[in-house]
Amino acid sequence: MYSVPRTIFTEEHDMFRQSLRDFIAKEIIPNNAQWEKDKQVTRESWKKLGENGFLCLQAPEQYGGLEILDFRYNAIFIEELGLSGCSGPAIGYPLHSDIVFPYIHHYGSEPAKSKYIPKMISGDYIGAIAMTEPGAGSDLQAIRSTAEDKGDHYLLNGSKTFITNGFLCDVAVVAAKTDPSKGAKGISLFIVDKEMSGFTKGIPFDKVGLHAQDTCELFFEDVRVPKENLLGNVGEGFKYLMTELAQERLIVALAAIALAETTFLSTVEYVKNRPAFGKMVSDFQNTRFKLAEMGAKLEQGRIYADQLVMLHNSNKLDGAMASSAKYLMTELQCNVSDECVQLHGGYGYMWDYAVARAFADARVQRIYAGTNEIMKELIARKILD
Ligand SMILES: Cc1cc2nc3c(=O)[nH]c(=O)nc-3n(C[C@H](O)[C@H](O)[C@H](O)COP(=O)(O)OP(=O)(O)OC[C@H]3O[C@@H](n4cnc5c(N)ncnc54)[C@H](O)[C@@H]3O)c2cc1C
């Protein structure tokens, strides 16, 4: 049986994992098929996560958080969602807690932190991050949204696309140009609230996969953003993005390995029970070799992923290492889901089969959070530095 010994977790981590696993079994897995049809999870699910203390684990106690400063808990959260095979939740919930929340926590003004962090912990407010625009994805410096300083507020105009949690979001961290003449140094980040007049949303996109994810466009027309909603200093947004993107890429890597493992494990069961030529599919040498190749790579990936978590816990994970992790783990996920479809034969192409959905879901992992081509650029930059 495929299993990799884990050495980085304590009994407390295991207890947290078990309570989370029970929660996912009761509240997420039974609802995921409906959420995929609805193209979104429910607000109620966010509130339940909040009530059970699963959102924004690192949030300080002063805002009602648990202040758990140990990334292993975040890793368990991502891993268990990934192992459930519920890919929409596996991406959307961690994005809120481990990507959007850190921007507000690290760079928010005190009034903004007091206003938004408690609501993000409780699940009353759902977070999104809006960098990508129709004309600028990989090349973030080319964004065209603008935020003009009007004295007591910024006036935000522009649009964003492909925004995860976009349709349900109550609060979005938005990148905009405060000085279009300055390239990267002219980009700033803002907290935009659903209550702000001029902030509207598109409808969730029809995507190849991640059907329970409410990915959509966001529009900003003369949105008055209070000065206290600027994150950090004006003109430093690009620097903050580059800093925080390391954790975002690690999260995608951790989701990738867990989603790949669950696809692999269900395929092992399938081939053991599928007859052909008077044997089981698992009896063919080709199947055994394919399983061996995948199992070996997954084992390697799991040990690597655990070590990345420990490096991140001790602040030693740099941007290029996070890029390597994102690149390697998402390529592995795509490779495993493709091979697993093949081992299922025609059934692997049927949407009712988890492996078909896993195949479709995996593809985008090589695209968002920076494409894998951009990851290679970042890795090469460090090597050649
Ligand atoms: C489901 C989904 C969810 C997403 N969620 C979010 C979100 O929450 N927030 C957000 O801001 N964005 C989000 N994105 C956007 C995502 O990050 C971008 O799609 C991605 O960064 C690529 O940008 P692009 O689509 O404009 O492609 P482009 O930048 O146009 O790239 C097209 C191709 O050119 C290649 N390319 C570009 N530049 C280079 C280069 N320098 N060297 C080599 N090759 C290059 C790319 O690798 C790619 O293959 C999401 C996207 C999807 C599909």
Task: Classify domain 239-384 at the CATH superfamily level.
Answer: Butyryl-CoA Dehydrogenase, subunit A, domain 3 (1.20.140.10)
List the chain domain ranges: 11-126, 128-235, 239-384
The rounded Å distance from CA 138 to ligand 1 centre is 5
Rounded-to-10 torsion of CA 174, 238, 67, 170: 0
The one-letter amino acid code at 29 reads: I
Rounded Cα distance, 145 and 218, in Å: 11
Asked whether residue 73 carries a pLDDT value surpassing 90, the answer given is yes
The one-letter amino acid code at 146 reads: T
Which atom of ligand 1 is found nearest the CA of 213? 1
Alpha carbon separation from 314 to 44, 246, 308, 317, 382 (Å, rounded): 35, 14, 10, 8, 20
Strand extents, DSSP E, 90-186: 127-130, 146-149, 153-163, 171-177
Half-sphere exposure in the Cβ direction for 306 (13 Å, CA): 11
Tens-place pLDDT, residues 13-43:
999 999 999 999 999 999 999 999 999 999 9
Tens-place pLDDT, residues 110-138:
999 999 999 999 999 999 999 999 999 99
Q: Is the CB of 327 under 6 A from ligand 1?
A: no
Judge residue 224's burial from the number of C-beta atoms within 10 Å of its C-beta, 0-12 exposed, 13-18 middle, 19 or more buried: middle
Q: Assess if CATH 1.10.10.60 describes domain 128-235.
A: no
Asked whether residue 1 carries a pLDDT value surpassing 90, the answer given is no
Strand partners, 276: 279
In a mutational test of the pocket of ligand 1, which residue from 162, 201, 213, 330 has the highest number of ligand atoms less than 8 Å from its CB?
A: 162
State the catalytic residues: 248
Q: Is the CB of 156 under 6 A from ligand 1?
A: no
Q: Is the CB of 246 under 6 A from ligand 1?
A: no
Tens-place pLDDT, residues 56-65:
999 999 999 9
Rounded Cα distance, 28 and 16, in Å: 17
> Percent helix, strand and coil across the chain, each rounded to 5?
60, 15, 25
Tens-place pLDDT, residues 175-218:
999 999 999 999 999 999 999 999 999 999 999 999 999 999 99
In a mutational test of the pocket of ligand 1, which residue from 138, 140, 375 has the highest number of ligand atoms less than 8 Å from its CB?
A: 138
pLDDT of residue 252: 97
Which atom of ligand 1 is found nearest the CA of 130? 11
The rounded Å distance from CA 140 to ligand 1 centre is 9
pLDDT of residue 259: 97
Across all residues in the chain, what is the average pLDDT? Answer: 97
How is residue 205 annotated by DSSP?
P
109: confidence class by pLDDT, cuts 50, 70, 90: very high
Half-sphere exposure in the Cβ direction for 240 (13 Å, CA): 28
Q: By the 8 A CB rule, do 97 and 81 touch?
A: no
Judge residue 167's burial from the number of C-beta atoms within 10 Å of its C-beta, 0-12 exposed, 13-18 middle, 19 or more buried: buried
334: confidence class by pLDDT, cuts 50, 70, 90: very high
Asked whether residue 314 carries a pLDDT value surpassing 90, the answer given is yes
> Thinking of the domain 11-126, which architecture would CATH place it in?
Orthogonal Bundle (1.10)
pLDDT of residue 92: 97
Q: By the 8 A CB rule, do 215 and 364 touch?
A: no
The rounded Å distance from CA 137 to ligand 1 centre is 5
Judge residue 285's burial from the number of C-beta atoms within 10 Å of its C-beta, 0-12 exposed, 13-18 middle, 19 or more buried: exposed
Which atom of ligand 1 is found nearest the CA of 128? 8
The one-letter amino acid code at 103 reads: Y
Q: By the 8 A CB rule, do 293 and 345 touch?
A: no
Q: By the 8 A CB rule, do 119 and 64 touch?
A: no
pLDDT above 90 covers what percent of the chain? 99
The rounded Å distance from CA 55 to ligand 1 centre is 27
Q: Is the CB of 212 under 6 A from ligand 1?
A: no
| C-alpha Rg value of the chain to the nearest Å | 21
- Average pLDDT for 153-166: 98
The one-letter amino acid code at 250 reads: L
The rounded Å distance from CA 373 to ligand 1 centre is 10
